């Protein structure tokens, strides 16, 4: 049913050569699904304390709705489990197992469903280290996916990273490409603190350079995606698909943008950001989450606070409308920022 737009069933998904659970024959481009699947396989192989659970994630249930956990349960048996629909229950189970040394990787099928288990994430996972005076800690990873553009409507598309960034004790990682996905997920699993790892549906099927198996990317470090001298454009997750074409277009006019992929949203790599903005004197932040009270606000205020005298223009934020994610495609498009808006914002900093 190629005409049915659906998870795992897009043209892009067919284009990419997904090779679940096995090493690539050659370093051909792979997609995020492939690289995250490798990361889970490699992490489970490397550390017997890594366990994986969530709805539908074992092989009899299909290995996850986009097959990111494919092959794991077949290989690692009881360490990999599909759960009942009980996010509070299994999120708490991850907290408990982590407290005694396991490294659970749990999947919340779509990000909006964190709303049924916020308590275990924000009141427990994020706080037990502090409240126990450091006697316990919670080395777990919560993987989840989200994003507009699939007509999934108001309860299946939100980016809620700002809620968790405002919750001290948890880290937030949002990869934008397959190689980063692999390296960041490996580091997130190794990390001694709880990590929320947010994947974007739109990024799953975009081919990218294959990760080097075993190569971990440190958390908390941004990546300079493109050096430039005129304006700093900061993105993460899906916006890293939108920024490059706009920036390349402007480059043809001689506007030289420096593009930074945050990769980790909390803690943010302020060194890299401020070094760049100090140089360019201008900054634009781009995220899919709705604009107000989003990650862009924190980043904007930190840049203004640190570089007020050096800034040549106020920091621009490019983000989605302050409304629930609508269903109909033209409204979904109206919800999300456009390339034209992004271009206009960059130009505005130069005006």
Q: Is 311 in the site for a second copy (CB under 8 A)?
A: yes
Which lies closer to a second copy via its Cβ, residue 121 or residue 173? 121
Write out the two tokens for 200: 């974007």
Strands 141-146, 195-200: parallel, antiparallel or unpaired by DSSP?
parallel
The partner in contact with residue 338, picked from a second copy, another protein, ligand TPP, none with C-beta cut-offs of 5 to 8 angstroms by kind, is none
CB neighbourhood size of 131 (10 A)? 13
Gap between the Cα atoms of 13 and 207, Å rounded = 9
Q: How far is the CB of 55 from ligand TPP (least distance, A)?
A: 5
Q: Which of 163, 263, 276 is nearest to 219 (CA)?
A: 263
Specify whether the CB–CB gap between 66 and 145 falls below 8 A: yes
Write out the two tokens for 5: 């737009």
The partner in contact with residue 227, picked from a second copy, another protein, ligand TPP, none with C-beta cut-offs of 5 to 8 angstroms by kind, is none
Q: Which of 36, 109, 262, 319 binds ligand TPP (CB under 6 A)?
A: 109
Restricted to residues 129-168, the positions that interact with a second copy (CB under 8 A) are 130-131, 153-155, 160, 162-163, 165-166, 168
Q: Is 284 in the site for a second copy (CB under 8 A)?
A: no
Specify whether the CB–CB gap between 172 and 265 falls below 8 A: yes
Write out the two tokens for 218: 């440190």
Restricted to residues 66-105, the positions that interact with ligand TPP (CB under 6 A) are 85, 87
Write out the two tokens for 345: 């914002």
- How many chain residues bind ligand TPP (CB under 6 A)? 6
Specify whether the CB–CB gap between 205 and 12 falls below 8 A: yes
Q: Rule CB under 8 A: which residues touch a second copy?
A: 88, 112-116, 118-119, 121-123, 126-127, 130-131, 153-155, 160, 162-163, 165-166, 168-169, 266, 289-290, 292-298, 300-301, 304-305, 308, 311, 313-317, 321-324, 326-327
């Amino acid at each position: 049913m190629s005409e049915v737009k659906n998870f795992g069933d897009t043209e892009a998904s067919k284009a990419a050569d997904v090779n679940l659970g096995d090493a690539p024959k050659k370093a051909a481009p792979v997609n995020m699904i492939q690289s995250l699947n490798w990361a889970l396989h490699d992490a489970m192989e490397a550390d017997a304390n890594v366990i994986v659970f969530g709805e539908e994630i074992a092989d009899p249930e299909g290995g996850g709705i986009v097959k990111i956990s494919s092959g794991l349960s077949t290989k690692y048996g009881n360490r990999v489990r599909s759960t009942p629909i009980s996010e509070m229950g299994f999120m708490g189970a991850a907290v408990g197992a982590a407290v005694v040394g396991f490294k659970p990787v749990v999947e919340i099928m779509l990000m909006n469903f964190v709303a049924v288990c916020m308590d275990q994430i924000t009141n427990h996972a994020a706080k037990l280290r502090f409240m126990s005076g450091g006697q316990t800690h919670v080395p777990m990873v919560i993987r989840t996916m989200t994003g507009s553009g699939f007509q999934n409507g108001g309860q299946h598309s939100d980016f809620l990273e700002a809620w968790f960034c405002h919750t001290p004790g948890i880290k937030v990682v949002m990869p934008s490409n397959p190689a980063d996905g692999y390296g960041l997920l490996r580091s997130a699993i190794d990390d001694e603190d709880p990590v929320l790892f947010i994947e974007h549906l739109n990024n799953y099927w975009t081919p990218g350079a294959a990760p080097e198996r075993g190569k971990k990317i440190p958390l908390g470090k941004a990546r300079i995606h493109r050096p430039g001298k005129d304006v700093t454009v900061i993105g993460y997750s899906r916006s890293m698909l939108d920024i490059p074409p706009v920036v390349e277009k402007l480059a043809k006019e001689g506007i030289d943008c420096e593009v930074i992929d945050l990769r980790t949203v909390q803690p943010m790599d302020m060194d890299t950001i401020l070094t760049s903005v100090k140089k360019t004197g201008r900054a634009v932040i781009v995220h899919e989450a709705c604009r107000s009270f989003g990650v862009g606000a924190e980043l904007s205020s930190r840049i203004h606070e640190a570089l007020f005298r050096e800034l040549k223009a106020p920091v621009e934020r490019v983000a989605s409308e302050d409304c629930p994610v609508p269903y109909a495609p033209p409204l979904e498009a109206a919800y999300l920022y456009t390339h034209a808006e992004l271009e206009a914002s960059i130009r505005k900093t130069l005006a």
